[in-house]
Structure 1
Amino acid sequence: MRQFRVMTSSVAVIGAGPGGLVAARWLLSQGFEPTIFEQAPTLGGQWAGLDGHSGVWPGMHANSSRTVTAFSDLEHQGGDVYLSSHEVLEYLHRYAEMFGLASRIRLGTRADLIDRDGVGWRVVHDGTIENFERIVLATGRFHAPVIPAVAGIESFCGPAGAISTYHYRDGSRYRGKRVLVAGSAVSALEIASDIAESGAARVVVTQRRQRYVLPKFAAGVPSDHLIHTRYGALAAEALAPAEIDRQLKEIVIEAAGSPEQYGAPSPDPSLFTAGVTLSQDYLPLVADGRIIVRPWMTGVARATVTFADGAAEEFDGIVFGTGFGLSLPYLSADIQAILDLDAVHMDADRYTFHPDLPGLAFMGMWDQSGGYFVPLELQARWIAYTWGGAAAPTSDRDQRLAIDAYRASRRASQKTRMNLAAIAFARAAGVEPRLDNWPQLRRALLFGPLAPSCFRLEGPDALPDAPERFAYEAAVFGAVTSNEMTERESDYWSAVQAASR
């Protein structure tokens, strides 16, 4: 193999999706020289929509609003409130052009192995070894579909076959057919809706439990402006879990009602136990009888599927929207062992650093509800500031304590919320705005959207126009148009303040 000499301040960024691009942008700002490796023939990651490289289908729209599907340096030029996949991809190309990232991307270059090499790191690709001072892994969390074990599934012989939502491209192949969609997360419900609206003869959704379903809009306001707030992150630190559960459920029920009102099964009274999924059209389609809901499947015999209630039905196709596993096959066995990597978990301080792997950082390797752009940028800033000296590095002891705390709370499904991840990274990067510094934005900072501009108010790389930008973004859909809290907001905030004393 050919080998390259390591360059001072060199960083290999693996992946040219949103995480890799925003990491490279902030590394450049701190004086590093990033080289971006991308196995696909174009940048964009999932948003490139390439079959085999992406689970984004051509007709898909983002499940996070335009306000939070953005980075702090570049605003959208109009477009849909919930952007189409094409609009998101065009935005990423503009972002790469703005920061001169395109010339740093090696397209069609897959990292076959990443390992330590003395005090540095090496990337093996195409029969070549390249050495780098540091590495950022930004290959994404959603490339390894999980297909659950179902008795007899290998015998399924419907003419449309059985696939994962990762390989779904459009509903035309299911027109006039009987389709079973397995799962209750966003990809399952959105694809079930797409198939029903594309002319399928029958659409059945099978799920282990009924989730609450939140529409994309609540009284004209994007739902993520209401549910993924900084207040929610502060409440999670101060209030009992049962009270947070109650408050979130109150917001969801007020926006959408409860699934049984549409003819779906009743979810668990606890929103945390049941879960919540964002989908605009799913419940109305259930109410119209265009989507039928069944309990989980118990067996498959050729084209016939049996369900837990004893019912059996023949299908032409099955689509599994049953989640993704954490897969980093390019990491050496030594590194995987240090991380105690499995299909769900990875030992890392706030999903980013491990004290035994200095010079290695991870981007976007956690599972969450809500959009990723804002927390990805904050994670990128934390990495760049830590390596560049703008933020003090976390001590080995504190990193190990954070990892121990994560291990103590491990669950079979480890999901967080967008606002919790964003605030954690903002604090680590030193850019969480202090309420006392912004009395005119107090309500917006608590109950408005977590727009990227609010994390440019203070700290490293603060922007002079950030206050005006954030005030506009908080008010544009009518969520926060004044600094006067509603009665409910005031009650919620008083409870957090009292619990924090």
Structure 2
Amino acid sequence: MNLNCNLDGPKVAVIGAGPGGIVAARWLLRHGCYPTVFEASASLGGQWNGECRTSATWPSLRTNTSREFSRFSDLSHAEEVPLYPRRDDMLQYLDRYCDRFGLHVFMRVSTAVRSICKEGAQWTVTSVTGEGDRRETFDWVVIASGHEARPQVPEVEGLGSFSGGLGVIHSAQYRGADRYRGRSVLVAGCSVSALEIASDLAWNEAREVISCYRRQRYVLPKLAAGIPMEALLMTRAAAFSGERLPLEVMAQTLSGVIDGLAGSPERYGARKSDLDVMRAGITQSQGFLPAVAEGRIAVAPWIESVTDDRVTFADGTSRRVDGIVLGTGFRPDLRMLDPALAQSILADDGGLDLCGATFHPAAPGLACLGLYNLVGPKLPVLELQARWISRVIAGEVGLPSDCEMTVGIAQAKEQRLMGAEPMMNATAISFARRAGLEPDLHQFPKLARALLFGPMVPESFRLQGPDALAEAPARVAALAKDICGLESGTFTPEEVAQLDALGEASLL
């Protein structure tokens, strides 16, 4: 038994043993709660566990965020792990994390949750194993089953009758390029998974790769001049600017930055993006645009119809293909929830109506963790959300009021209508503020440049308070230098002028 476990603390059912469920269990234990983690698969890992039935990864997959952003604040990757970890590296990391905090004992693998319903002040969770059903009551439920739980399949005329020899699959079913060698493949979608699969096929001897999508997103590489893109773009300074500048000014600024770092997609031979970067959207792939430029990938507008093995596109052109891969996204799976409650949370557009992506006034005692898309690294954000949830359950910070939740839900709907996916840095800061975890920059003058303009590494949220790490200040300074070449220290006169222009000096 974990020595930090409080048998008398709030009992919390955590649904899913992927990164979100694992980090939730770690922080629930830290704050005096008793977690029980339910996992339908035979082992932990979620998306990073290739044996998990809902995993949407393939063996050769690498992370699209760098090593220092693909982890939690308490544990680094092993030294031999490359800058962009492989799937098995991530799985080993999560297993080591569970070992470090004694989490395995709280996990029930091969245990699927059948239903979750509110009965009085508690929640009843019905789970099923090979030995039959089991009903248990909990004070809280944390749903951490992942945003990628249910593949979304678009409605396309004739898609169900496609006769190409390799058939139609969703990107969640893609397991590598081998079966597509020497064949013609259509990859539909412009998200990270769609572009990475198209690139994987193009660089692994598919005869023809066609990438089609409704809108051309701006495509960022993983690295620029050897620096991970998230370290360049997703800083505190950028998030603070986004809070103060008008949306149209931020969009223009971001468009200029992206153009300087990656260039417009049409320069590579891809389609033209909307000039409004917020409307166009941002995605990431190191190999996609170069493969388009070299003619390894052809691009086309969205699918109009499918007849036998011929795909007709919105511009009237058509191609015969052997297989279709649908990289058309996912949605969370809330089918285990009481139907009336699930209906309250699920929005018509497939999103979730939640305050701060976490709580709903109709579901006291329920929290959702990680059930959202995000531009940029996700693990550090999952950790901050888990810390917020844990502090709420432990009574250390207050739950948002019903009024605050109503306002938060309205804001979430507005953001979805705009089509803008949340950025990692802004989301991380939002969770940190709600949980009282964002560092007071006045207290760290020697880290000022690193904290505002350097990479927003997980340790930057462990500088103070009851969960402070003694080594965090040194780690923040060292990683700013190692990743970006940014020396620690107070601001230069030029930086102070920049901050004054944004009204940032008041924060310091």
Classify the TM-score, shorter chain: over 0.9
Contact map agreement 2:11 2:140 (CA 8 A) in 1: yes
Per the alignment, residue 37 of structure 1 pairs with: 38
C-alpha distance in 2, partners of 1:167/1:61?
Answer: 17
Contact map agreement 2:455 2:484 (CA 8 A) in 1: no
- TM-fit CA distance, 1:228: 1.4
C-alpha distance in 2, partners of 1:247/1:168?
Answer: 36
Per the alignment, residue 261 of structure 1 pairs with: 267
Per the alignment, residue 77 of structure 1 pairs with: 78
Matched, 1:432 2:438: yes
- TM-fit CA distance, 1:382: 0.6
Per the alignment, residue 62 of structure 2 pairs with: 61
C-alpha distance in 2, partners of 1:122/1:297?
Answer: 44
Contact map agreement 1:259 1:267 (CA 8 A) in 2: yes
Matched, 1:232 2:234: no
Q: Deviations over 1:386-441 (max 9, x none)?
A: 12133233333322322233345442856211112101100011110122221111
Aligned counterparts, 1:445-460, within 5 A: 445-460=451-466
Contact map agreement 1:39 1:107 (CA 8 A) in 2: yes
Contact map agreement 2:69 2:379 (CA 8 A) in 1: yes
Matched, 1:206 2:208: no
C-alpha distance in 1, partners of 2:253/2:244?
Answer: 13
Per the alignment, residue 23 of structure 1 pairs with: 24
Per the alignment, residue 118 of structure 1 pairs with: 120
C-alpha distance in 1, partners of 2:202/2:480?
Answer: 35
5+ unaligned residues in a row in structure 1: which ranges?
A: 1-5
C-alpha distance in 1, partners of 2:64/2:500?
Answer: 31
Contact map agreement 1:344 1:414 (CA 8 A) in 2: no
Aligned counterparts, 1:171-190, within 5 A: 171-190=177-196
Per the alignment, residue 135 of structure 1 pairs with: 141
Contact map agreement 2:445 2:490 (CA 8 A) in 1: no
C-alpha distance in 1, partners of 2:340/2:88?
Answer: 39
Aligned counterparts, 1:323-362, within 5 A: 323-342=329-348, 344-362=350-368
Q: Deviations over 1:134-177 (max 9, x none)?
A: 11110000121112111111121111111110000000010000
Counterpart AA for 2:338: S
Structure 1 stretch displaced more, 488-497 or 21-30: 488-497
C-alpha distance in 1, partners of 2:9/2:488?
Answer: 50
Per the alignment, residue 318 of structure 1 pairs with: 324
Q: CA RMSD for the aligned pairs?
A: 2.1
C-alpha distance 459-285 of structure 1, shift in aligned 2 (>3 A): same
- SS of match in other structure, 1:411: helix
- SS of match in other structure, 1:112: strand
Identical positions, percent: 44
Structure 1 stretch displaced more, 456-465 or 183-192: 456-465
Per the alignment, residue 224 of structure 2 pairs with: 218
- SS of match in other structure, 1:273: helix
Per the alignment, residue 202 of structure 2 pairs with: 196
Q: 1:288 aligns with which of 278, 294, 297?
A: 294
User: Matched residue pairs, number?
Assistant: 496
C-alpha distance in 2, partners of 1:317/1:439?
Answer: 57
Q: 2:155 aligns with which of 143, 149, 161?
A: 149
Per the alignment, residue 252 of structure 1 pairs with: 258
C-alpha distance 121-498 of structure 1, shift in aligned 2 (>3 A): closer
- SS of match in other structure, 1:328: coil
C-alpha distance in 2, partners of 1:304/1:412?
Answer: 34
Q: 2:499 aligns with which of 469, 493, 501?
A: 493
C-alpha distance 499-323 of structure 1, shift in aligned 2 (>3 A): farther
Counterpart AA for 1:33: Y
Structure 1 stretch displaced more, 174-183 or 402-411: 402-411
C-alpha distance in 1, partners of 2:497/2:183?
Answer: 51
C-alpha distance in 1, partners of 2:255/2:391?
Answer: 37
C-alpha distance 110-7 of structure 1, shift in aligned 2 (>3 A): farther
- TM-fit CA distance, 1:262: 1.3
5+ unaligned residues in a row in structure 2: which ranges?
A: 1-6
- TM-fit CA distance, 1:477: 2.1
Per the alignment, residue 3 of structure 1 pairs with: none
C-alpha distance in 1, partners of 2:474/2:505?
Answer: 32
Per the alignment, residue 484 of structure 2 pairs with: 478
- TM-fit CA distance, 1:299: 1.1
C-alpha distance in 1, partners of 2:140/2:10?
Answer: 8
Matched, 1:278 2:248: no
- TM-fit CA distance, 1:340: 4.5
Aligned counterparts, 1:369-448, within 5 A: 369-411=375-417, 413=419, 415-448=421-454
C-alpha distance in 2, partners of 1:232/1:150?
Answer: 39
Structure 1 stretch displaced more, 44-53 or 287-296: 44-53
C-alpha distance 273-408 of structure 1, shift in aligned 2 (>3 A): closer
Counterpart AA for 2:462: R
Per the alignment, residue 108 of structure 1 pairs with: 110
Contact map agreement 2:224 2:261 (CA 8 A) in 1: yes
Q: 1:462 aligns with which of 444, 461, 468?
A: 468
- SS of match in other structure, 1:415: coil
- SS of match in other structure, 1:391: coil
- TM-fit CA distance, 1:452: 0.5
Structure 1 stretch displaced more, 483-492 or 342-351: 483-492
TM-score by length of 1: 0.94
TM-score by length of 2: 0.93
C-alpha distance in 2, partners of 1:221/1:424?
Answer: 25
C-alpha distance 324-364 of structure 1, shift in aligned 2 (>3 A): same
Counterpart AA for 1:250: G
C-alpha distance in 2, partners of 1:10/1:498?
Answer: 42
C-alpha distance 311-323 of structure 1, shift in aligned 2 (>3 A): same
Contact map agreement 1:326 1:342 (CA 8 A) in 2: no
